[in-house]
């Protein structure tokens, strides 16, 4: 009753024929019926939409095939005694003209039939007093509707059918919105929602490594919802949208040209994703052809394009390389046979078949020829059949149409078995015809689960959606021919499986085209974004930085360096002096020679310990000096060794103490000589602290000062190692000594050298051979030169640690060598080559002596020269008298051993 209230206000509208008037002037066939006990409605896009009128003249081949698929399925079901026995299914098929508003208008026919069925007509009376009955073309109420194809059509119609609780199953509408059960309560589909298709499209874009694409979508639920999901998912997966262009439903050629121009402006976005209706896709391709952009774009398209041959007809070159998504379906061979059997003469239940035939074969049927005309027509041959050789190909969604019809039939079969089983008459029972459509949808349709004609499972989820399976096709040129075809290159079922090697974007191109705003940055570069997240310029990281993430360079830190791939850092190899380097070999060799020489001298001295020459040179200090020299040579090893705390302590003590032994001893010597001569010139009194013991004590004290200074230094600057980074790429292991503090540590030694040099200068006039002052002097001058040369070299080579260490080693060894050679070579010469001169001579009579004696106040000269040897008093060789052959060369110094053996005795008298 309530239903009657709802419908009665609608009646004038429902029965107003003029509201569903044909779109064109000529008689227009909007629908067709096939009689049956139970009627199923059908909504198919038999015609394309018109530009100025609701319906276009062009027949839509896909729509015709789908409509025939419904007929085919109905025929099979009616012939199948196991489904709805004794009940025939009829159909009421409407042409939607691919337009939602027109389809809605036409769908009122379903509602009218349904409403009539539900109206209590007993209250109405005809003029002749008879009971009202439906008109002749009235097909009875529809139990359900198969269709529409375009989502926009399904959406509009579902709103209306929902009001009348008429279940609807679409074989093609994929818009996500149709899954919303609060709005479309009785809508189901044998295809999946576009959420999956959008994911598949993003997967394709990702798999060909495109990061910057443009999109074009049709106005309406299909394109708008589909692209929305695509945009969202693309963004989540770092694919940027260069531009998104909407094709208005009223778009004309100019609009398409505009879209192409806008796409062209995004030069780097060569991939274009289409979520459009078929005719929009075709018109876009035509615009691309007009705009000379045939080979500029690479298309990725939704099932709106799918695998339609008609869509790309005469646009093959523009469409070449397109990757399209189509719902996975299987050809039904029986349907092909059915189509082949159809002829316009026999297929009278399809009022649009003749037009389809003529359009398909591009001919005119005999009965459609104008009676009088002088134009020649291509008359259709009677033998023509819809066969593959004539270009016939089963439409991809035929399977889903057949499934949708079977779904209704099987659900009705259940209902029949539930409600009419006990009905004594065969056929439809009232309980069945009056069954509520809403309950029928919930109880019977949604619970279906069957296997279709080609063995695919058919079932609906709780939203009434079908299973999501897609084929991925690539439109490519046939090898060695100018023909083109769609090649299956992959599939999508929850994830993409794409055979990249089968993909051909262009028969002239062997590589995958690039669609990116900016090219990926090279190794060691980061992205500096420019507006869009996909557009950037590449910036090079510093050579000591690694790429932390694609936008950030990070410093590896001191002692670390990035790997060549710049993804992380490794620890730099520590540098320190290696024994096998030439910087180490040279000073080591030098030092070894020096050590050998020193030992030779020590050995010689020990061997000739009691000879006058050795005794005269002051054995204690001589040995100390030799030890100092040895220490200086040994320092080379401490300096070259790999730095460690022990090595660093050894270096500090070694260098400082080694020098202080040498220069301490020499200072003691020169000071002593100076004092002796100073005091000798003043009085006959022997100066104090000239005994060997005193000299050793003085020397030890001088050395102790250095030791103490070094200890203080150790406290102020504790020993250890440190890393030194002269450049970012070098890490040098060094002792924890500042260059300056090393210099300070040598200040004391420099002081010793300076004083020693002053004394050496002071005593230089003392007759040669008188002790070693001349040689000491020479040693000191050379030492000064070496030190003066060493300091700038040492500080100037701060970064070249090897040169610095080598310089220090060589300087130390040179100082030691100068001391060794200048002080000891004369003695060694005599010991080795003139042992005859290394004997004690008792007489002392020489011109030199006399000369020296003649000087005033030289009290010791007047003293008698004792023959008493005083070996312990080691005032070294003193020659009083004879001239030496050479005064300037330390190597050439000659002593007169006969006399030189004596002076100590002479001095001992002081
Ligand atoms: N999936 C499209 C839509 O929902 C229709 C495609 C077709 O008709 O094959 O509009």
In tens, the pLDDT along 309-367 reads 989 999 999 999 999 999 999 999 999 999 999 999 999 999 999 999 999 999 999 88
908 has a pLDDT exceeding 60:
no
Q: Is residue 662 pLDDT above 70, yes or no?
A: yes
Q: Is the CB of 304 under 6 A from ligand 1?
A: yes
Task: Point out the ligand 1 atom lying closest to the alpha carbon of residue 153.
Answer: 10
Q: What is the CATH number of domain 525-571?
A: 2.10.50.30
CA distances from 659 to 337, 584, 635, 815 (A): 113, 21, 10, 9
The pair phi, psi for residue 429, each rounded to 5°, is -105, 155
Which CATH homologous superfamily contains domain 194-331+469-502? Answer: Response regulator (3.40.50.2300)
> How many angstroms is it from 148 CA to the middle of ligand 1?
9
Short-list 587, 665, 654, CA closest to 620: 665
Report the candidate in 725, 726, 799, 728 with the shortest Cα–Cα distance to residue 555: 728
Q: Pick the range with the lowest mean pLDDT from 106-120, 352-366, 612-626, 873-887.
A: 873-887
Percent of the chain with pLDDT over 90: 55
pLDDT at 904 over 50: no
- Above 80 in pLDDT, residue 119? no
| Spatial distance between the Cα atoms of 157 and 174, rounded to a whole number of angstroms | 14
Tokens of 894: 């000659």
**772, pLDDT greater than 90:** no
Does residue 687 carry a pLDDT above 80? Answer: no
Q: Is the CB of 397 under 6 A from ligand 1?
A: yes
Relative to the CA of 150, which ligand 1 atom is closest? 10
Evaluate whether the domain defined by 582-837 bears CATH number 1.10.10.10: no
Residues 139 and 166: beta-carbon distance below 8 Å: no
Residue of 151, 219, 329 to test ligand 1 pocket, by largest number of atoms within 8 Å of CB = 151
**Shortest-distance atom of ligand 1 to CA 149:** 8
Distance 223 CA to ligand 1 centre (A): 10
Does residue 910 carry a pLDDT above 50? no
Pseudo-torsion of CA 295, 300, 301, 302, nearest 10°? 180
Is the pLDDT reported for residue 379 higher than 80? yes
Q: Do domains 29-118+137-191+397-459 and 194-331+469-502 have the same CATH topology?
A: yes
Greater confidence (477 vs 679) lies with 477
Q: How far is the CA of 597 from the centre of ligand 1 (A)?
A: 103
Lowest mean pLDDT among 200-204, 238-242, 722-726: 722-726
Helices within 342-470 (DSSP H only) = 353-361, 398-419, 430-433, 437-439
Q: Confirm whether pTM is higher than 0.75.
A: no
Q: What is the DSSP string of 675-724?
A: HHHHHHHH-SSPPSS-SHHHHHHHHHHHHHHHHHHHHHHHHHS---EEEE
Ligand 1 close to Cβ of residue 280 (< 6 A): no
Q: Using the predicted structure, report yes or no on whether residue 552 has a pLDDT greater than 60.
A: yes
Does residue 175 line the site of ligand 1, with CB under 6 A? Answer: yes
The label of the residue with tokens 């000369």 reads 851
Asked which of 622-626, 724-728, 773-777 is least confident by mean pLDDT, the reply is: 773-777
Atom of ligand 1 nearest to the CA of 191: 1
Among 112-121, 179-188, 522-531, 536-545, name the one with the lowest average pLDDT: 112-121
Task: Report how far ligand 1's centroid is from the alpha carbon of 279 (Å).
Answer: 11
Residue 214 has pLDDT above 90, yes or no: yes
Distance from residue 889's CA to the centre of ligand 1 (Å): 112
Atom of ligand 1 nearest to the CA of 175: 4
Please report how the helices 61-79 and 398-419 are oriented relative to each other, as an axis angle in degrees rounded to 10. Answer: 30
Which pLDDT value is given to residue 801? 82
Which of 44, 175, 303 to mutate to test ligand 1, by most ligand atoms within 8 A of the CB atom? 303
Question: How far apart are the CA of 115 and the centre of ligand 1, in A?
Answer: 29
Q: How far is the C-alpha of 700 from the C-alpha of 668, rounded, in Å?
A: 10
From 46, 187, 304, 398, mutation site for ligand 1 pocket: most ligand atoms within 8 A of C-beta:
304
Lowest mean pLDDT among 347-351, 412-416, 610-614: 610-614
Res 468 pLDDT > 60? yes
Residues pairing with 451 in the sheet: 457
Is the pLDDT at 563 greater than 90, yes or no?
Answer: yes
Kindly give the distance from the C-alpha atom of residue 621 to the centroid of ligand 1, in angstroms, as a whole number.
112
**Highest averaged pLDDT of the listed ranges 202-211, 413-422, 851-860:** 202-211
Domain at 29-118+137-191+397-459, CATH class: alpha beta
User: How far, in Å, from the CA of 278 to the mean position of ligand 1?
Assistant: 8
Q: Is there an atom of ligand 1 within 6 Å of 221 CB?
A: no
Q: State whether the beta carbon of 174 lies less than 6 angstroms from ligand 1.
A: yes
CA distance 168 to 40: 10
Q: Which two tokens mark 830?
A: 């005599």
Of the two residues 137 and 755, the one the predictor is more confident about is 755
Nearest partner of 4 among 105, 124, 87, judged by Cα: 124
- Report the percentage of the chain scoring pLDDT > 70: 85
Beta pairing, strands 187-189 & 168-170: parallel
Q: Residue of the nearest CA to atom 8 in ligand 1?
A: 149
User: Which range is least confidently modeled, 148-152, 207-211, 563-567, 833-837?
Assistant: 833-837
| Nearest one of 601, 608, 581 to 817, comparing CA atoms | 601
> What is the pLDDT at residue 13?
41
pLDDT at 182: 94
Q: How confident is the model at residue 393 (pLDDT cuts 50, 70, 90)?
A: very high
Per-residue confidence (pLDDT) for residue 797, from 0 to 100: 75
- 449-463, 471-485, 829-843: which is most confident: 449-463
- Each domain of the chain, given as residue ranges in start order, spans 29-118+137-191+397-459, 194-331+469-502, 351-385, 525-571, 582-837
pLDDT digits (tens, 9 = 90+) for 739-771: 777 777 788 988 998 998 888 888 877 764 444
| Residues 51 and 152 sit within 8 Å (Cβ to Cβ) | no
Distance from Cα 96 to the centre of ligand 1, integer Å: 13
Least Cα distance to 710 among 756, 637, 664, 651 occurs for 651
Q: Check whether 160 has a pLDDT greater than 90.
A: yes
470 CB less than 6 Å from ligand 1? Answer: no
Q: What's the confidence (pLDDT) of residue 97?
A: 94
Distance 277 CA to ligand 1 centre (A): 7
Which stretch of 57-61, 192-196, 436-440, 881-885 has the lowest confidence by average pLDDT?
Answer: 881-885
Name which residue leads in pLDDT, 679 or 215: 215
SS3 871: coil
Q: What is the mean pLDDT of the chain?
A: 84
pLDDT in tens, 823-872: 888 888 888 888 887 776 543 433 333 344 444 333 333 333 333 333 33
φ, ψ for residue 484, nearest 5 deg: -130, 155
Cite the beta strand spans of 515-656 per DSSP E. Answer: 525-530, 532-540, 545-549, 552-555, 560-562, 569-571, 574-575
- 680 has pLDDT over 90: no
55/126: higher pLDDT: 55
Residue 531's pLDDT is 77
- pLDDT confidence of residue 115: 61
Q: Whose CA is nearest to atom 4 of ligand 1?
A: 173
What does the alpha-carbon distance between residue 817 and residue 633 come to, in Å, rounded to a whole number?
9
Confidence of residue 684 (pLDDT cuts 50, 70, 90): low
pLDDT of residue 849: 38
Q: Is the CB of 173 under 6 A from ligand 1?
A: yes
């Amino acid at each position: 009753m309530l239903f009657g209230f709802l419908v009665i206000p609608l009646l004038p509208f429902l029965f107003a024929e003029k509201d569903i008037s044909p779109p064109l002037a000529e008689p227009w066939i909007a629908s067709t019926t096939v009689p049956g006990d139970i009627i199923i409605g059908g909504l198919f896009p038999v015609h394309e939409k018109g530009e100025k009128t609701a319906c276009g003249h062009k027949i839509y081949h896909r729509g015709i095939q789908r409509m025939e698929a419904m007929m085919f399925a109905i025929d099979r079901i009616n012939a199948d005694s196991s489904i709805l026995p004794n009940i025939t299914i009829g159909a009421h098929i409407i042409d939607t003209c691919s337009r939602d508003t027109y389809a809605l208008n036409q769908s009122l026919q379903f509602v009218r039939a349904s409403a009539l069925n539900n109206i209590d007509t007993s209250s109405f009376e005809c003029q002749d007093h008879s009971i009202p009955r439906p008109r002749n073309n009235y097909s009875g109420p529809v139990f359900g509707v198969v269709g529409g194809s375009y989502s926009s059509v399904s959406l509009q119609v579902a709103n209306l059918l929902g009001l009348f609780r008429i279940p609807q199953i679409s074989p093609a509408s994929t818009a996500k919105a149709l899954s919303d059960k609060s709005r479309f309560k009785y809508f189901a589909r044998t295809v999946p929602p576009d959420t999956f298709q959008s994911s598949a499209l993003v997967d394709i874009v990702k798999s060909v490594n495109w990061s910057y694409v443009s999109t074009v979508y049709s106005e309406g639920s299909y394109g708008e919802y589909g692209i929305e999901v695509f945009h969202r998912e693309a963004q989540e997966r770092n694919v940027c949208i260069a531009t998104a262009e909407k094709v208005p439903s009223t778009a004309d050629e100019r609009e398409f040209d505009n879209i192409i121009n806008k796409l062209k402006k995004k030069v780097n976005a060569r991939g274009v994703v289409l979520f459009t209706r078929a005719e929009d896709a075709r018109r876009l391709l035509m615009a691309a052809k007009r705009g000379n952009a045939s080979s500029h774009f690479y298309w990725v398209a939704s099932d709106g394009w799918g695998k339609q041959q008609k869509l790309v007809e005469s646009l093959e070159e523009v469409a070449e390389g397109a990757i399209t998504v189509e719902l996975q379906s299987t050809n039904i061979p029986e349907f092909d046979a059915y189509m082949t059997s159809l002829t316009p003469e026999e297929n009278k239940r399809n009022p649009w078949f003749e037009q389809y035939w003529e359009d398909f074969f591009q001919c005119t049927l005999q009965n459609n020829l104008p009676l009088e005309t002088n134009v020649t027509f291509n008359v259709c041959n009677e033998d023509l059949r819809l066969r593959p050789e004539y270009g016939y190909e089963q439409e991809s969604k035929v399977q889903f149409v057949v499934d949708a019809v079977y779904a209704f039939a099987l659900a009705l079969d259940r209902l029949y078995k539930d409600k009419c089983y006990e009905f004594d008459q065969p056929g439809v029972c009232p309980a069945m015809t009056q069954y509520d459509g809403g309950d029928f949808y919930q109880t019977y349709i949604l619970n279906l689960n069957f296997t279709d004609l080609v063995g695919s499972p058919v079932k609906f989820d709780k939203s009434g959606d079908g299973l999501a399976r897609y084929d991925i096709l690539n439109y490519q040129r046939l090898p060695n021919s100018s023909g083109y075809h769609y090649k299956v290159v992959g599939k999508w079922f929850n994830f993409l499986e794409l055979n990249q090697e089968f993909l051909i974007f262009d028969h002239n191109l062997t590589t995958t085209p690039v669609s990116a705003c900016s090219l990926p940055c090279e190794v060691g570069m980061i992205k500096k974004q420019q507006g869009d997240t996909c557009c950037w310029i590449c910036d090079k990281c510093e050579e000591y930085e690694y790429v932390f993430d694609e936008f950030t360079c990070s410093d590896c830190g001191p002692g670390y360096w990035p790997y060549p791939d710049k993804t992380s850092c490794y620890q730099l190899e520590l540098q320190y002096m290696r024994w096998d380097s030439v910087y180490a070999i040279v000073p080591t060799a030098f030092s070894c020679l020096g050590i050998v020489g020193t030992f030779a001298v020590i050995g010689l001295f020990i061997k000739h310990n009691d000879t006058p020459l050795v005794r005269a040179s002051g054995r204690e200090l001589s040995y100390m000096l030799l030890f100092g020299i040895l220490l200086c040579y040994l320092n080379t090893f401490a300096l070259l060794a790999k730095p460690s705390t022990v090595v660093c302590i050894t270096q500090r003590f070694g260098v400082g103490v080694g020098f202080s032994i040498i220069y301490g001893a020499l200072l003691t010597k020169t000071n002593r000589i100076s004092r002796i001569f100073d005091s000798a010139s003043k009085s006959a009194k022997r100066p104090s602290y000239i005994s060997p013991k005193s000299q050793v004590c003085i020397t030890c004290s001088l050395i102790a000062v250095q030791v103490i200074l070094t200890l203080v230094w150790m406290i102020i600057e504790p020993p250890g190692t440190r890393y030194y980074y002269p450049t970012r790429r070098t890490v040098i292991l060094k002792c924890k000594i500042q260059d300056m503090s090393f210099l300070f540590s040598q200040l004391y030694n420099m002081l010793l050298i300076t004083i020693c040099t002053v004394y050496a200068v002071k005593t230089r006039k003392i007759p040669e051979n008188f002790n070693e002052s001349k040689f000491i002097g020479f040693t000191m001058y050379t030492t000064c030169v070496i030190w003066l040369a060493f300091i700038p070299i040492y500080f100037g080579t701060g970064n070249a640690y090897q040169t610095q260490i080598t310089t220090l080693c060589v300087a130390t060894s040179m100082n030691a060598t100068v001391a060794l050679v200048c002080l000891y070579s004369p003695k060694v010469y005599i010991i080795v080559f003139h042992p005859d001169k290394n004997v004690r001579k008792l007489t002392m009579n020489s011109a030199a002596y006399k000369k020296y004696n003649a000087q005033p106040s030289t009290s010791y000269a007047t003293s008698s020269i004792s023959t008493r040897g005083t070996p312990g008093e080691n005032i070294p060789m003193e020659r009083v008298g004879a001239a030496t052959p050479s005064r300037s060369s330390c190597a050439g110094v000659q002593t007169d051993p006969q006399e030189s053996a004596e002076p100590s005795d002479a001095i001992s008298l002081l």
